[in-house]
Structure 1
Amino acid sequence: MIRSKPDEEDYWNSSKFRAFTFDDEDDECSSLKESKRTVNSIPLDDDEDEDEVEKVSWSGEPVGSISWSIKETASSTQSSMRDQGFPKIDTTPSLTKQGSGYSLSSLFKGRSKTGSFPSFSESLSEVSTRSFAPELRKPKSEYKDYVSDWTPKETVKRMQRGKVYSLETFRSLKDKLLLLDEAVSALDGNVITAVLIYLKKSLSKEIISRELMSREIALRHYIHYLKEVGEQKVLLDLLKSLGRTEDMALLQYREHLNLKDELRRQDFLKNCVSLPFAPDDANHVQDHYTLLERQIIIEVNDKQVEGKGQTDIFKKYPRKASILNMPIITTLYYSCFYHYGESEGMYSSPANIRQTFKISEKQYFLTALGARAKLKAWFDVDSLFTTKNWLGYTKKRSPIGFHRVVDILQKNNAPVQVLQEYLSLVEDTELRISLAQKHKCHDIIIDTYKDLKDRQKLIVYRGKVERGSPEDRKIDSLLNNTQIRWKN
């Protein structure tokens, strides 16, 4: 509405607000002060009667109540938002005189009564700004974070950067698969898993199985995810539909870990033997079942014998733990410790266990040596390495290096005489001398220098032994022996 000049002068003269002109004072500061007084003369008290304050628009035209002005603005904003594809949001605030947090000055200043800008979480600043000051609306490009029409590539990038994203907009199978392929191309496991979780919720098991069959990377992530969350049935169905029977069998076999009762576990493993494993895995499962069966028998028998207290080995070395569910090498060690020397027909016999589970000679020697050395059974240790040839001569033979034998014996506090016996069998001269020095086996060093006919090293070594000791006298005897032809 456009007024004529006389009407406009009458309007301002009759207004309750005091007007001012720039002609009143030439001083710029005075004009600013006058402007400030005029703005401050606008009542801010909500309790003041609404009819006593005439409302004006930017053009100076009365437009009714404040509520009318706000509703009109919000209405036009809602219409604009619908045109832009925004979700429906009630942007019309309740501005009763008692409950309103805004005054007329807030329409000009964009502030609340408190003088601070309203936060997003408190008043949806984006919406509020559009409601009260539509002329200050931000460019449409800045609303990108609130729009969910991104392409698969854009969505994946947002997921990687931790920005807001939405997967629900990908509704068709084609779009979902494009999203999955884009996630795989990004080589980001978290993004791939997130997309797979969405596909799991929105697609049938049959479709997922069919599509993942040609997407190996996504399939591996999906299988790993199902294992992590414990969705056993879904995983079994997936593997079955993919024809991966061996993986199905291994997955079922893992269930024995959840069984605490040994008899139930034994029955479960017995059923697992018939599952379609690969040949190597089938042998492993069979051995596992046989081992548990053997352990149950040994455990029951040894528990009874130990309880009676009539066997020296159990009296001197009480069992610290049950043998049930122990690995095969631990079972062999236990057998060599408590049942060494039993006939091969006994389930607890080391020879029986070695034969049943096809334990290698080297592994058997290492385990038996450790068990017998722990008991200080040096005769048994010696018998492990003593062999006879076809002429009846005995010699010591070991499937492991004798330097390793020496280390094992030393860790079990073997006496010097035992250590020296096996040190002398170490073929490498420098290694033999080094080990002899380490374990203080003087006779080995002296004999080695004698065999090398190295008089100078023998003289040097005499300075390292105690004066008047058997080793010192032995060195003197060798140095004075005129029959030995020394190199120097």
Structure 2
Amino acid sequence: MASFEDDEAYWNETKSRRFNFDDEDENSGSRLLGVSQAGTSRLSRQIRSVISNDAADTSLLLSESSLLSESTFSNDSNKLFSANTSLASATLTDGLLPSSAVSDSTIQRIINADMSKELKPRGKLLPEEELKILRRKDQMRWQPPPVEETLRRILLGLPFSLECYRSLDDKIKILDAALDQGNGDAILCVVQFLSRTLKRAQFTHLLSHRPVAVSHYAAHLSTRFQLTELNNLLESLGKSRDASIKQFGLAIGNIDSPSRCQRTLQTLRNCLASHFSSGAAEMDRPFVIHAIKLLEWQIAADEKFRSLNSVQEVGENIIGAPALLSVAHACRYHWENPKSKNTVPDPLAPSVLCQSLGINQRAYQWTALRTKAQEQAWEAVDGLFISKGWFQGIRLIGGSNSIPMADVATELHALGAPEDIVVKYIKLVEGVEERISLANRLQCHTAAIDIMKSQGDRLGICRLKDRLPPRSEEQLYAENALKSSSIRWKN
């Protein structure tokens, strides 16, 4: 076992030698970057012998020698040694280093580089300098990126941040750029950012000159049922009527089932009282009143329909239907007999509903005509347009406000009405030429022949007979009319 003295001797001894330029032993010394210590020592002594007589050039020659040593160490060791040897021989021969080896500008740069390195502070920075660097980094972090880059990231769905746009000019710039780009997502993101970071007056002023941004933001608020914020936004922009209409639309849009109609009805009444009682929205008050009356009628009609029919027969939901569909429902299930002597009309009758909602005569007649024609209730159709006049004459209902008889005949023909029903209304059309043209267009040739017989138009019947199919019923009817001796022909 080793003693304590042996351990101390082992740790205190060293097997490496220090570098010494005076060492003559080339083989025993270590090699520095591929060059032996002996070669480096000889080069050093040669340079010292050259510059020993000129003390003023000492620093210059040392700089060149150090430069040559560095360049020598960067190449292969054999080439370096030969270069050092040639340099030494040239120095000993001429007494000076060759001028082409190192230029004056290179030497000056080396000196300046050494001086700049010496002027650099070493060690840790001062607290004031570190604080300046940290502040500069923080400013660079919050510096807003280009607007186009942020909008591009929004468009592509990449992560983005708007918090770096802190000044009012930057916020206006990115808002206008989003509006010019037309990207709805970008517009909505920027507007929401402005609503959080700007004062209410500034935010309202910006949106007042940008209606597209207002429409996007209003649609966003209405979709999420943020009614208070939506109403405040429109009111602050001076759009009280738009705010009232938006409130009405949201209220009427909640009718999706009969179970919610009572709550919707109460909401509409509150909306009428709070938003349509004064101001610019007062002109829309009759429209809201009609909507309330329609919903009240639909609730009553639905309750009566369900009470009179079994659950299996209930297949029509009238709640929330448009006005004309409600009129059609009334014509099917609550039709009133025009000849009835009952002085108290049915509150669910179609005529009462039309009068309550302000539906005009033509709209009511068109809806009732199509509904009753589908049911083939031709007597009810006659009750819409024809009434008995003096001396059993025919009088048209509604006068000039009624549907033209030509349109009635065309619609009945399209709905598959019998020919005698269609002919009845063809004969009510004013103008002989128009009646004949309409009869031919609707393929009612018998009616056309009767009209021409009454006018004594023998040539017209002949032309029509030539166009009819041979030996058809209409052709035989035309031939019999031409053979009649009781008709006074005009041509």
Under TM normalisation by the shorter chain, which class is it? 0.5 to 0.7
Q: Secondary structure at the match of 2:395?
A: strand
Cα offset for 1:433?
Answer: 3.9
Matched, 1:301 2:301: no
User: Equivalent residue for 1:365?
Assistant: 365
1:272 partnered with 2:271: yes
Q: Retained in 2: the 8 A contact 1:193–1:221?
A: yes
Equivalent residue, structure 1, for 2:254? 258
Q: CA deviation at 1:418?
A: 0.7
Q: Would the alpha carbon gap of residues 467 and 206 (structure 1) be closer, same or farther in structure 2, given more than 3 Å must change?
A: same
Q: Is the 8 A contact 1:189 1:221 kept in 2?
A: no
Give CA-to-partner distance per residue, 1:167-207, whole Å, 9 cap, x none: 544312344235545666x4846465453233124224453
Of 246, 263, 276, which aligns to 2:241?
A: 246
CA shift in 2, pair 1:243/1:466, >3 Å: closer
Q: Flag the 1:458–1:20 CA change in 2: closer, same or farther, 3 A.
A: farther
Tell me the secondary structure at the aligned position of residue 430 of structure 2: coil
Q: Which residue of 1 aligns with 2:386?
A: 386
1:83-98 correspondence runs (5 A): none
Q: Are 1:352 and 2:356 matched, yes or no?
A: no
Tell me, yes or no, if structure 1 residue 408 matches structure 2 residue 411.
yes
CA deviations over 1:48-87 (Å, ceiling 9, x no partner):
xxxxxxxxxxx9xxxxxxxxxxxxxxxxxxx9xx89x888
Q: Is the contact made by 2:143 and 2:164 (CA closer than 8 Å) also made in structure 1?
A: no
**What one-letter code is carried by the residue in structure 2 that aligns with 1:462?**
K
Supply the distance in 2 between the matched residues of 1:322 and 1:405 (Cα, whole angstroms).
30
Q: Within 2, Cα distance between the matches of 1:187 and 1:371?
A: 51
Give the aligned partner of residue 105 of structure 2.
none
Residue 11 of structure 1, aligned match among 54, 60, 73: 73
Please give the secondary structure, in 1, of the residue aligned with 2:190: helix
- How far did residue 14 of structure 1 move? 5.7
Say if 1:189 and 1:149 are closer, same or farther in 2 by CA, change over 3 A. Answer: closer
Contact 2:72 2:80 in 1 (8 A): no
CA contact (8 A) 2:73 2:80 kept: no
Instruction: Give the Cα–Cα distance (whole angstroms) in 2 for the partners of residues 6 and 254 of structure 1.
Output: 91
Give the drift of 1:300: 1.3
CA distance, structure 1, for counterparts of residue 374 and residue 353 of structure 2: 20
Task: Give 3-state SS (helix, strand or coil) of 2:331's partner.
Answer: helix
Aligned equivalents of 2:480, 2:223: Cα separation in 1: 74
Q: Distance in 2 between matches of 1:455 and 1:404?
A: 28
1:376–1:8 distance in 2 versus 1, CA, 3 Å: closer
- Partner of 1:461 in structure 2? 464
- After superposition, the C-alpha distances for 1:243-268 in whole angstroms (9 at most, x for unaligned) are 53333332222333235412222222
Deviation at 1:286, TM superposition (A): 1.6
Instruction: Measure the CA separation in 2 of the matches of 1:327 and 1:217.
Output: 31
Q: Provide the TM-score with structure 1 as the length reference.
A: 0.61
Alignment partners' CA distance in 2, 1:182 and 1:460: 73
Rg (Cα) greater in structure:
2
Report what 1:332 is aligned to. Answer: 327
Q: Counterpart of 1:320? A: 315
Q: Hey, what's the Cα distance between the residues in 2 that align with 1:175 and 1:10?
A: 59
Does residue 1:442 correspond to 2:442, yes or no?
A: no
Which amino acid in the other structure matches residue 252 of structure 1?
Q
1:471 correspondence with 2:470: no
CA contact (8 A) 1:298 1:347 kept: no
Aligned residue pair count: 362
Provide the rounded CA distance (Å) in 1 between the counterparts of 2:299 and 2:486.
66
Report the Cα distance in structure 2 between the residues aligned to 1:308 and 1:320, rounded to whole angstroms: 8
Q: 1:423 aligns with which of 418, 426, 430?
A: 426
> Which SS does the other structure have where 1:346 is aligned?
coil
Cα 1:3/1:453, change in 2 over 3 Å: farther
Q: For the structure 1 residues 250 and 340, does the alpha-carbon distance in structure 2 shift closer, same or farther, using more than 3 Å as the test?
A: same
Amino acid at match of 1:276: H
Structure 1 counterpart of 2:330, one-letter code? S
AA partner of residue 478 (structure 1): A
Task: After TM superposition, give the deviation of residue 282 of structure 1 in Å.
Answer: 1.7
- How far apart, CA to CA, are the structure 2 residues paired with 1:409 and 1:326? 26
Matched, 1:284 2:287: yes
CA–CA distance in 2 between the matches of 1:397 and 1:220?
A: 48
More helix as a share of residues: 2
Alignment of 1:17-56 (within 5 A): none
1:130 alignment counterpart: none
State how far apart, in whole Å, the 1-side matches of 2:322 and 2:267 are. 18
Q: Distance in 2 between matches of 1:422 and 1:167?
A: 72
How far apart are the structure 1 equivalents of 2:226 and 2:81? 77
Shift of the alpha carbon at 1:362? Answer: 0.9
Structure 1 residues not aligned, in runs of 5+? 22-58, 60-78, 90-145, 310-317
Q: Does the 8 A contact of 1:295 with 1:324 survive in 2? A: yes
Deviation at 1:405, TM superposition (A): 0.8
Q: Could you tell me which amino acid in structure 1 is paired with residue 267 of structure 2? A: F
Looking at structure 2, the residues matched to 235 and 389 of structure 1 have their Cα atoms a distance apart, in angstroms, of 59
Letter in 1 for 2:378: W
- Deviation (angstroms), 1:483: 5.5
**1:89-136, Cα deviation, whole Å (9 max, x unpaired):** 9xxxxxxxxxxxxxxxxxxxxxxxxxxxxxxxxxxxxxxxxxxxxxxx
Does the CA contact (< 8 Å) of 1:148 and 1:166 recur in 2? no
Q: Give the residue type in structure 1 aligned to 2:292.
A: Y
**Structure 2 runs not aligned, ≥5 long:** 1-62, 84-109, 111-129
Find the aligned partners of 1:245 and 1:172 in 2 and give their Cα distance.
Answer: 31
Query: Post-superposition shift, 1:415?
Result: 0.9
Cα pair 2:347 2:353 within 8 Å, conserved: yes
Amino acid of the structure 2 residue aligned with 1:299: D
Letter in structure 1 aligned against 2:270: N
